Chain A
Amino acid sequence: MSSKVKTQSMISSQYQRENQLLAVWKRLRTNPGAVVGLIILCALILIMVYSVLFISYEEITVINSKNRFAPPSAEYPFGTDEMGRDLMKRIFYGSRYSLAVAFGSVFIGMVVGIFFGSIAGFFGGWVDNLIMRIADIMSSIPGTLLGMVIVTILGANLINLLIAVGVASIAGFIRMARASVLTVKSNEYVESARAIGMSELRIIFTQVVPNSLSPLIVTATARMATSVLSAAGLSFLGFGITAPKPEWGALISGSRAFLNYAPHLCYFPGLFIMLMAFACALLGDGLRDALDPKLKK
């Protein structure tokens, strides 16, 4: 083969992949809900980037007793809290926790879930039984309770919160991955791969998993919404990220005592939790339509 053809083909290979992404994007764009979700999510990510670059930890923890419970104003758009700290900056600073939990915990759940789920679905028999019964046990424990136990054992910080929320989502991913692997593994191309001498493990990760990914991506996006909520819930209960760090759930928890005369302390963090969960759910819905091969034409 001449090198010219080769270079050409490499270029066109890149073009192809972009083309596929482009096709998904085109379909996603026609779904107004998904676009709204995507815009909110991007805005939250921008806020996080801004807070990482421009808001220091000192700035949001320093006490200013002259300015306690200031209502929203031009100077403090979201008002100030019981220690006179700017609520907007605190919420912006806290976005990193929610985003980290949303992406991190789903990543943990997805990787572990796909690994075990695809092995269960692919090999069947006692392996399947063992993995699925463990998944049953995991899903019979309420997620919040499981998270509380894990955080209690490991200690309350961001990484452990992430693990706690992630572990709670594993069972769902195992089930999802197993179901889609079951439908993919009976395809003839899996048999063909065996006939050219591919090993079973390689078949799982080059043939089966890539073909069963799209329902999993949808589940993952939708799961992010739940994860944000459970992380906020755990923090609210004091099992996640604790004050003075401004995790959104922890902010609401801190505002309970002042709900009567400073309700804005509870509204704004609540609004952001809702926005985040809402955005993920909308995007998940849109992705389901965009990735559905039946709607391709």
Chain B
Amino acid sequence: MSKKSVDTAIKDQAVVCNDDVVLEVEDLVVHYVLKKSVVEAVNGVSFKLKKRRAIGLVGETGAGKTTTALAIMNLVPDPPGIIKSGNITVCGRDMLKLKPQQLEKIRGKDISMIFQDPMTSLNPVMTVGQQIAESVRLHERVSKQEAFERAIEMLELVGIPGERANDYPHQFSGGMKQRVVIAIALACNPSVLIADEPTTALDVTIQAQVLSMMNDLKEKCNTALVMITHDLGVVAKMCDDVAVLYAGRIVESGTLEDVFNNTMHPYTEGLFNSLPNIENRGAELKPIPGLMPDPTKLPAGCTFADRCSYATDACREKVPETRRVSETHTVACSRYDEPGFRIEGWQHG
């Protein structure tokens, strides 16, 4: 009886899914409560993702990218992780208020996730075909054989010959494993796909292949994409929108054009300055000085102030508000209170 009521509950809610916004994160706060300290991993992240769009979450290690992704799936390991506040809406359903059973129906069906390391994200004792078929059978009432046929189709879609469905993960190379992982994630045609650094573990030539394949699939399957990466090149290739994360906050967000060509936040500028310049190979890299603040003791004001060349005393006192620069572009920096303030801007070379 309970299963049926879950089914109908989901059906009722599914009507809202026609809405244009498939994923909405509002003021998300996630902390990891340890014995002696609290890790403030995500501190008020908000963004929206529309159908068929791709957003890139960019930031360095420890900025809260993966925690944000896990929170969207409601998979933050608990304990120690706690989603303190915020709203996450996937296709009109509030992920944080659903029962575990309802969540299981949404994960994989409406929203799916690809993990960083393809070497370890496949079950070594099941054939890849079985694993894709399993994903199909979790969400659709099909026979084993139909599911297996779907698995073969999915494999071919990601560019792996169907005959290999009966091979085990250890018989595949890293790039092919990541393709299989993508096939599993897309098997039920989710509206949103979260890719957590999907190409970090692959070498550069394979990275390019996997990325362009993901781009094709995104178009084919009408999937919206959340691309988590620290690689600005990947963002430029894959995404329509960008959100730059620093110490659990979005410091700048906007369209690719806004953030790349009209950079406003000093941190974003720092990120671009620390990339090698392909047109002027002799140019010196300008890394951002210092390290990200310890997430267990975040400073009171702007978290970037200590590394920022524009910082004033005021920056260290007050957490900067997010201000809207244009229809699409936002930036969280107090210096923009001063009329006429501009950063030096990212120099093209």
Contacts and interface: CB of A to CB of B under 8 A. Distances in A.
B171 to A, nearest CB: 9
Contacts of B149: 1, 6
A16 interface: yes
By Cβ-Cβ distance, the 9 closest A-B pairs, closest first, are A196-B108, A197-B108, A197-B107, A195-B113, A188-B120, A13-B166, A1-B149, A188-B121, A192-B121
Contact of A189 (B112, B120, B152): B120
A129 interface: no
Contacts of B53: none
Contact of B166 (A16, A194, A198, A207): A16
Contact of B152 (A1, A187, A195, A210): A1
Given A8-B163, A16-B127, A199 B181 contact: no
Q: Give the interface size bracket for B toward A.
A: 35 or more
Given A9-B152, A189-B123, A194-B107, 15 more contacts: A1-B153, A1-B162, A6-B149, A9-B163, A9-B165, A189-B122, A189-B124, A195-B107, A196-B184, A197-B103, A197-B105, A199-B101, A206-B134, A210-B125, A211-B124
A272 to B, nearest CB: 37
Nearest to B103: A197
A197 B113 CA distance: 10
Contacts of A8: 163
A211 B167 contact: no
B69 to A, nearest CB: 10
Contacts of A200: 100
Given A9-B129, A210-B125, A191 B115 contact: yes
A193 interface: yes
Which interface residue of A1, A192, A210 has the most chain B CB atoms within 10 A? A192
Contacts of A5: 152, 162-163
Interface residues of A, number: 25
Nearest to B123: A189
Nearest to B104: A197
Interface in B231-280: none
A13 to B, nearest CB: 4
A126 B168 CA distance: 36
Given A9-B162, A199-B104, A194 B121 contact: no
Contacts of B181: 192
B35 to A, nearest CB: 16
Interface in A141-196: 187-189, 191-196
26 contacts: A1-B149, A5-B152, A5-B162, A6-B152, A8-B163, A9-B148, A9-B152, A13-B129, A16-B166, A16-B167, A188-B116, A189-B120, A192-B113, A192-B121, A192-B184, A194-B73, A195-B113, A196-B108, A197-B105, A197-B106, A198-B134, A198-B138, A200-B100, A206-B123, A211-B123, A211-B125
Nearest to B111: A195
Interface in B126-168: 126-127, 129, 134-135, 138-139, 145, 148-149, 152-153, 162-163, 165-168
Interface of A: 1, 5-6, 8-9, 12-13, 16, 187-189, 191-200, 206-207, 210-211
A195 B103 CA distance: 10
B306 to A, nearest CB: 34
Given A1-B149, A9-B129, A210-B125, A195 B112 contact: yes
A195 B116 CA distance: 13
A162 to B, nearest CB: 30
Interface in B155-199: 162-163, 165-168, 181, 184-185, 187-188
Nearest to A195: B113
A218 to B, nearest CB: 16
Contacts of B163: 5, 8-9, 12
Nearest to B171: A16
B208 interface: no
Contacts of B166: 9, 12-13, 16
B47 to A, nearest CB: 20
Of A187, A189, A210, chain B has the most CB atoms within 10 Å of the CB of A189
A189 B121 CA distance: 4
Nearest to A14: B166
B75 interface: yes
A12 B145 CA distance: 15
B117 interface: yes
B109 interface: yes
B253 to A, nearest CB: 25
Given A195-B73, A195-B107, A197-B104, A187 B138 contact: no
Interface in B85-121: 100-101, 103-109, 112-113, 115-117, 120-121
Contacts of A16: 127, 166-168
Contacts of B103: 197
B120 to A, nearest CB: 4
B113 to A, nearest CB: 4
Interface centre among A8, A12, A197 (most CB of B within 10 A): A197
A8 B165 CA distance: 11
B234 to A, nearest CB: 20
B120 A197 contact: no
A167 to B, nearest CB: 29
Contacts of A6: 145, 148-149, 152
A88 B122 CA distance: 54
Nearest to B188: A196
A13 B127 contact: yes
